[in-house]
Each structure stands twice: as structure tokens, then as C-alpha cells.
Amino acid sequence: MKRRQTSTDYNPLNQIELSKITAIHEAGHAAAIYLGNKQKQLPPVYFQIFINKLNSGFKLAVCSCGIGNSCTKCFTKIEGGRLIHTLPSSVEAAICDFPEIQKQAYQLAFEADIINLLVGPLAEANYVALRDDEPINPQLVNLNALHYYGGSGDLETINEYLDCLATDGTFRDKKLSELFLAAFEFINNKSNWFAITALADYILAGSNSRLDCEEIMAVLDSHHFITRKNNWC
């Protein structure tokens, strides 16, 4: 999970704000992975945030190597965090011999990964709307609009998930719309949003180039209104 740059990101006047929105984007992913999965009673999953900081300051997603969107070293990103480690060619075929309870658990994990991918760009969109004192809802910021909030890479991964979920276009569209609304509901929850913004501030204030799972969880737990019940990681 890494934020894909947009065309306006390369304006030098946007450097400070770019750092902020990138931190929000990655904090959104992290909060969904930890808090969202825990709310669904899904198993723990390990993840880290890698942060690119240049000597001249905190310039999170600014690519200076000239490679552009294909560059990986110039991005802040989350490594790990997915419940489905290897995508099957077909979900239906992969789970056909599973007992019913295991089928349901796999499908829940599969959909949770998609929601967690969607939360990153949606968190960025929500931050921009609040910053600019503009309304935000699933109609104003739809799925296609996420390309403008660093979500191109996330959407590419989501399409890989959908490719092995179903071939029927109507079903795919319905399922994706359902998961998009679930992701929007997550960032629209005040407690979740408070935890996302707190983690983003922590990322911006820190000096480390990597945040491990335990450190991320501690920040999220300390700013979220749900008591921690399980020992993750």
C-alpha cells in the first residue's frame, strides 16, 4: 500500500501540505488494518510504515529520482497488512472445499483487505474536504475520484482482488460499491478519524524512517475510544 502521486504533487509550494496528506493517507491504511480488522474480529496481521524523509525536510511522496510513478524507493508506504497474502485465480475455486464457517472467514478477510485499501485515499479526500471547508459524501467523492487522492496504486490492487472474486461485471460493481461505502463509513466515524489524524501527526513529528506494528498500534490505541482486547503482532 503506497500513495501514488498526482500531477499537482510536484509543485514546490505544495511540499508541506503534501507531507500532511501523505501522512493522512498512510495513517488511514494503518488504522483500517489495525482498528478495522479488530472491529471485525479478524486475526492480527503484521505491517510497517516506511517513511521517506529527505535531508531538506519531510517530503513524503516527492520523487526526486526522475523515474516517476514506477519508482518504489521514493514513496512512503505500508509493507504487509494484508490478510490474503496470495490471491487465488478464483475465490470460488479456492474455498469450494472449505467448511462453511471457513468460507465465511475467508470472504470476510478478502473484503476487509479491499476496504483497507480504499480507506487510505478516502482519508486523504476527507482531510482535503475538511481543510477546504467543503462537504464530502460518497456521491461527491466516488470511486473514480480516488485517483485524485493518491489512490491509483490502491485501485490497481483492488482490481486484482476483484479479478479473482467474480467475472460478472454487475456483481463486481455491486460488491465494490458496498465495500466503498463501508470504507467511507470507517473514515466518517469520529473515533476512527481522531485516531487517523493522531497517527498522521505522529508520523510528521517523528524522525524514524520506519514505524513498526507495535508502535503504530500504541498510537492508534491511545487515541481511539475502543479498549484494546487482543494482543496484536
User: In the chain, what are the domain boundaries?
Assistant: 7-222
Going through 51-111 in order, the beta strands assigned E by DSSP cover 77-80
Q: pLDDT at residue 35 above 90?
A: yes
Average pLDDT score over the chain: 84
Going through the chain in order, the beta strands assigned E by DSSP cover 47-50, 77-80, 210-211
pLDDT tens digits, residue range 164-216? Answer: 987 777 888 999 999 999 999 999 999 999 999 999 999 998 888 899 999 99
**Which whole number is the average pLDDT over 137-155?**
92
DSSP 3-state of 119: helix
CB-based contacts of 211: which residues, under 8 Å, 6+ apart?
48, 49, 51, 203
How many angstroms separate the CA atoms of 123 and 141, rounded?
11
Write the class of the CATH domain 7-222: mainly alpha
